[in-house]
A and B are shown apart, each in its own frame.
Chain A
Amino acid sequence: MRPPQPRGEISAALIGALTTTSPGEGPLPAAGAADPYGDDLQLALYLCYELHYRGVAGVSDDWEWDPRLLRLRGELEKLFLTALRADVPTGAGAAAALEELVLEPRDGRGVSHFLCGSGELWQLREYAAHRSLYQLKEADPHAWMIPRLTGRAKAALVAVEYDEFGAGRAERVHARLFADLMRDLGLDDTYGRYLDAAPASTLATVNLMSLFGLHRALRGALAGHFATVESLSPPASRRLVRAMERLDAGPAAVRFYAEHVEADAVHEQLVRHDVVGDLLRREPGLAGDVEFGIAATRRLDERFEADLLAAWQARRSSLLIPLTD
């Protein structure tokens, strides 16, 4: 992935340090009182996290564990997490939050409903560009949960992850299926290609899972995140299959969502009952974190979808850099 364009003082100073100095040299910025959901903080955090995934072209791999970079990351995370804890409603309990995940809304108004009913091809392509930030590393952050689980929860999580990673077949890895979808839609499937085009609300959805994944203390929240993703996916994927078919998006584009209808109907069962269920039997004190993980995931997804729908209703691009054909 190439270094992104800066979006403010913090991200500019961070990109400058990463690309022009070695770990331990020159100054790094402080997080100060940056807007927790703003472009500058979300991009800086995204960049800190990317060092743990595939790294950044021209940036030393040693930055990943540089103590000063970790301090900056910690400050950014604290601002983000504090805002989420204040803004996200909890209190009904983990069981109620899990149950709510598998109830369909009576009048769904999300992006998948819109794309299914009246979406146009340019909107479908924009949606895929946004989602590419996560889908090209689909299920990677949840693999960080493996060493933190034991027994039934671990076995079930690994069964789901094995399926996500193609069950031993490279051409069936879900991230690869998404790359195939992108090419069907005429998009560039290079990892990180659309980072500069992705607004803060898109980055926040990915930063949330990296935050939960990299901190063992947040393992309950990560389990809640995974349960949310897997539970909400099948109905949304059904609608996206219809959108892809209606707009003639191509066989790989249809296949990606068709695969997710079938696979996630299984994953939902395993993650809710076996991963989260067993984790909470062993560590009942994590129930509040599971509920928080579910609520935070839903809140950030809703913000992301609201931004897309608002842009599309105004007939403008939802990306910071509109796609070219």
Chain B
Amino acid sequence: MPGGPAERPATRVRRDPGGPLLIEGPVEVELPDGSLVRSDRPVVALCMCGRSGIPPWCDTSHRGRRA
């Protein structure tokens, strides 16, 4: 809307189909038990498949198998 307040910069994330959510770091993730974990990587991959051995980060456990 013209003359309105400047739009706040949005956080852009990207979803790899079948894979993780990529988000610019540093990132803090609040876990279900209320604790915080942090990653200082320039880009962070968050597990979306629920199979990661190092949640909330992706460890590529979502990958399919060769035919």
Contacts and interface: CB of A to CB of B under 8 A. Distances in A.
B57 A167 contact: no
Contacts of B42: 159, 162-163, 167
Q: Which secondary structure dominates where chain B touches chain A? A: loop
A263 to B, nearest CB: 7
B65 A265 contact: no
B12 interface: no
Nearest to A234: B60
Contacts of B58: 262, 265-266
- Place the interface of chain A in its size category: 20 to 34
A265 B41 CA distance: 12
B45 A269 contact: yes
B65 A104 contact: yes
A245 interface: no
- Place the interface of chain B in its size category: 20 to 34
Of listed B16, B41, B44, residue having the most chain A CB within 10 A = B41
Interface in B7-42: 16, 19-20, 22, 39-42
Of listed B19, B20, B22, B43, residue having the most chain A CB within 10 A = B43
Given A159-B43, A261-B54, A102 B66 contact: no
Given A167-B41, A265-B57, A266-B43, A103 B22 contact: no
Contact of B60 (A105, A163, A258, A268): A268
Contact of B45 (A100, A105, A265): A265
Contacts of A263: 41
A235 interface: yes
Contact of A266 (B44, B53, B63): B44
A269 B66 contact: no
A35 B20 CA distance: 44
A238 interface: yes
A167 B42 CA distance: 8
A261 B59 contact: yes
A103 B64 CA distance: 5
Interface string A90-105: 0000000000101111
B56 to A, nearest CB: 11
A265 B43 contact: no
Given A163-B42, A167-B42, A234-B59, A105 B20 contact: no
B25 to A, nearest CB: 9
Interface in A255-286: 258, 261-263, 265-266, 268-270, 273
A106 interface: yes
Given A159-B42, A265-B45, A266-B41, A106 B60 contact: no
A163 B25 CA distance: 11
